[in-house]
Amino acid sequence: MQYREAFKIAIRALKINKGRSLLTILGIVIGIAAVLVVMSAGNSIQNFVFAEMDSFGSDIVQTEIKIPSTKHTSSENATSMVQGVVITSLKLSDQDAILKLPNIKKSYAAFLGQEVLSWDDKVKSSMVMAASASLAEIDSSKVDTGRFFTKEEDDSLARVVVLGSKMKEKLFGQSDAIGQNIKIRKTNFKVVGTVKSNGGSFFIDRDQMVYIPIQTAQKLLWGIDHVSFIASEMKDPSKDEETVADINELLRERHNITDPDKDDFAVTSMDDAKDMLGTILGGVELLLIALAGISLVVGGVGIMNIMYVSVSERTFEIGLRKALGAKYKDIMQQFLTEAVVVTFLGGLVGVIMGIILNYLVFILASSKGLTWELSLPFSALFTSLSFAVILGLVFGLFPAKKAALLEPINALRQE
């Protein structure tokens, strides 16, 4: 039997049982659309995260506090931090020591906290970044009006503050904020500058933040002597592994640590962070694709069951065709063609649905201010359609084999 003829018969069979055909196709449509949405979202999230990391610069090495005897990325470390476990071993003096390493150009130490700000009759909650003055030289944030605070102001515990663009608008509107005094914990801070809009970074809106000198924050606001992280800019980014090793060695010596498993800090270069996040996101994407693929398997089982029903209903037709000379391979070809046509049509509609859903996700993400790429490579579309065809061949094989093995005399008696 020629494939063209088999295709025509398959289409005719689908038209005869339209309701059954639509229900059979539906499972494939949902499965393919779900897989495409997951693949596109995975690519977009990975691109988004990497773009956010690139905004910090590829020449940055970050040193953060960590629960000893845990991995930096482990759930145990994250849970302990959330539960309020505080590591106080990372100091400003560690930043000074890191700055003396041969491949370190600049560095700043920082600590994040949540505070209530007030001016006149306006009261606002804000994330406060207490940082070294060198933050302005390394960070991507740019001063809009006024200036950033200086090292001298940090050393002298000056009560000065720099406002993010949105926080400036919330407190002062269109009025000039420079020179005004705002209260943080009932302490007056003089506004010396505002920062240009910088958008979100890892789901933190930096435009809502305010910046104050770290020593001022430590001694006048929070009563602490530690920091949460130190960001360092390298002279030669190609020596990132060597630099990470140098910082590890330095801090273990300063913190009296002899066993690396008991480190109370974690040092990560941007390349390391990208590799780590890429592995995590890739694993999550594979898991989600596998979960979405379950619906495809369910759809495939549905096709197999429907094909079995079709074989039972067309037993006489099969017997008649075999009595008139149809061979084993002709019957196999016919029913496999029908299964493939069903899955291909389901895959095609699923691809269209997947494209539409991805576009809707893109619009929704953009409306929320996220930099989201409409990422749906042609290879993903081709793979989806190919998988749909393979699904038809695999789940159509047993019903087709059952039909092809029917004896003509027994099949004709079924009428």
CA distances (Å), 189 to each of 1, 136, 210, in order?
87, 19, 11
Distance CA 112, CA 129 (A): 5
List CB contacts of 296: < 8 A, sequence separation 6 or more: 27, 28, 31, 32, 35, 387, 391
Output 307 or 79, whichever has higher pLDDT. Answer: 307
Residues 118/124, Cβ–Cβ less than 8 Å: yes
- Confidence tier at 17 by pLDDT (50, 70, 90): low
At 54, list the tokens: 């690139």
Q: pLDDT category, 11, cuts 50, 70, 90?
A: low
Please report the pLDDT score of residue 307 as a whole number.
80
Q: What angle do CA 107, 109, 115 make, to 5 degrees?
A: 145
Q: How far is CA 145 from CA 124, 168, 244, in A?
A: 21, 11, 36
* Position 61 pLDDT exceeds 80: yes
192, 231, 239, 276 from 58: Cα distances, Å: 30, 12, 12, 15
- The DSSP-derived string for 180-240 is -EEEETTEEEEEEEEE----EETTEEGGG-EEEEHHHIIIIII-----SEEEEEES-GGGH
The number of CA neighbours under 13 Å toward the Cβ of 140 is: 17
Q: What one-character DSSP code corresponds to residue 261? A: G
Q: Where do runs of H (alpha helix) occur along 83-134?
A: 92-99
Q: How far is CA 104 from CA 132, 251, 252, in A?
A: 16, 15, 18
Does 75 have pLDDT greater than 50?
Answer: no
Q: Over pLDDT 90: what percentage of the chain?
A: 32
Residue-wise over 100-125: b if at least 16 C-beta within 10 A, else e? Answer: ebebbebbbbbbebebebebeeeebe
Taking residues 202-210, report their average pLDDT. Answer: 77
Predicted confidence (pLDDT) per residue in 353-403, tens digit: 988 888 888 788 777 666 666 767 777 788 888 888 888 888 888 888 888
Measured CA to CA, the distance from residue 325 to residue 54 in angstroms comes to 69
Residue 289 tokens, joined: 């694709």
Average pLDDT over residues 120-141: 89
pLDDT in tens, 266-293: 998 877 777 777 777 778 778 877 877 7
DSSP string, 339-397: HHHHHHHHHHHHHHHHHHHHHHHHHHHHHTT--------HHHHHHHHHHHHHHHHHHHH
